[in-house]
Amino acid sequence: MKIIGGPASQLLASRTARALGTKPVLCEFNRFPDGELYLRITEETENERVALIQSTPTDSDFVSLLQLIDACEGARELNVVIPYMGYARQDKKFKPGEPISAHAVARCIRADRVFTINIHEKSVLKHFPCPAENLDAAKLVGEYIAGLGLKDPLLIAPDSGAEGLVKNVSSGLGFEYDHLEKTRLSGDTVVIKTKNLDVTGRHVVLVDDMIATGGTMAESIRMLRDQGAARVYIACVHPVLARNAVLRLFNAGVKDIIGTDTLERAESQLSVAPLIADALKGL
């Protein structure tokens, strides 16, 4: 199978190809003078089995994914891996007149099969016009946390939406886990309800599917530090880390930010390549 990485997932595609014992196909990425995107796959894909790997954190990344799919039109089998899918959080109409953006995006993906990783809302999968499967990086995140040698660790989900994830991350590793309650006031402001927890002197890891503006985690870190947690780490699958999120988190007292390479950031300390490689091997 030919592994083709888009501009947002070059490292992850390369790691996946290596895990499968092959080399990633070389692509060229550029822009026309007017700003429009140009790309070229430098190997023939006609009648080949292909896996495209491209996260879509930006609109340009989404256009690049559509271009890659179009460039592979003659492939015998086209698998599209979207490790981080942008717009997945607008999974319903919150107000009249709004689009279901996740639907608008997913319906454009013409492929034989789609894989996502810890997509924000699994109901989005039904919007793809082909079979779509969500892969779970929880085990990889849990193993990474287990390797940190933390003192009396407690894993905490910052809201009820992340309860399932923190449970899966802890699963089989014997970590104690709990969750907080969050109310969102605006795009970057949240309130975390105070909860008395047994964190004094302990190493706490906050676990969520993604960190966007850092508001959720910053408020949670403050509460846990106020209650005497010795160290607070944050772990997520998708380190979106928009705007000044990193500064907000360190200002709140985080010990370290742990993310995966579904988004390639300085904080992407662990790779989901084994997860993707296993899924592709199973086809």
Residues of this chain that interact with ligand R5P (CB under 6 A) are: 159, 161-162, 188, 190, 208-216
Q: Which is nearer to ligand R5P, 30 or 58 (CB)?
A: 58
Active site residue 182: yes
120 or 127: whose CB is closer to ligand R5P?
A: 120
CB of 138 to ligand R5P, least distance (A): 14
Please name which of 120, 122, 117, 138 lies closest in space to residue 55, comparing C-alpha atoms: 117
Looking at 121-202, which runs of residues are DSSP E strands? 132-135, 154-157, 176-179, 182-184, 190-192
> For residues 82 and 114, what is the distance between their CA atoms, to the nearest angstrom?
7
94-107 burial by CB neighbour count: b if 16+ within 10 A, else e?
eeeeeebbbbebbe
Q: Which is nearer to ligand R5P, 160 or 200 (CB)?
A: 160
Residue 228 tokens, joined: 């005497």
Nearest distance, CB of residue 272 and ligand R5P, angstroms: 17
Q: One of 122, 126, 139, 182 is an active-site residue; which one? A: 182
Helix (H) or strand (E) holding 231: strand 231-239
Nearer to ligand R5P (CB atom), residue 48 or residue 188:
188
Could you tell me the smallest distance in angstroms from the CB atom of residue 241 to ligand R5P? 8
The helix or strand, by DSSP H or E, that contains position 260, with its residue range, turns out to be strand 256-260
Q: What is the closest distance, in whole angstroms, from the C-beta atom of residue 120 to ligand R5P in the complex? A: 6
Which residues are known catalytic residues? 182
